Amino acid sequence: GNMISVHQRNDKLIPYKLVDETDTPINVADADVTFIVSKYPNWREIMITKTVVKTEPTEGKIAIELTADDTDLPAGLYIYELLLIDVDGHRYTADQGWLNIITSIGEVI
């Protein structure tokens, strides 16, 4: 998967394109897509759960909107997952990767 980096207590908008194994865009028009972040290696401890914004659903284009509250986490590596639940309720892990939370000296403000 990818690596997403963001400083602590920062807002960040992450554009994203969901594709299948053949690099074909996944149509997410009728699906729910959730961005989930958990601790590593203790992945059962969920830190962030967000419904993503669909920017161009038929092209698989979404945006993950992280807020300063979301990224108010100890610096380090976390696991993220994009969970897709289709119109019939089937669950697919559309992608998985790393979220790198970088120490911010402005964090104390």
Supply the pLDDT for residue 107. 56
pLDDT tier for residue 36 given thresholds of 50, 70 and 90: very high
Supply the pLDDT for residue 109. 64
Distance separating alpha carbons of residues 20 and 82, to the nearest angstrom? 13
Residue type, 15: P
pLDDT tier for residue 99 given thresholds of 50, 70 and 90: very high
pLDDT tier for residue 8 given thresholds of 50, 70 and 90: very high
Stronger pLDDT, 43 or 22, i.e. the higher one: 22
- Whether pTM exceeds 0.75: yes
Distance separating alpha carbons of residues 51 and 66, to the nearest angstrom? 11
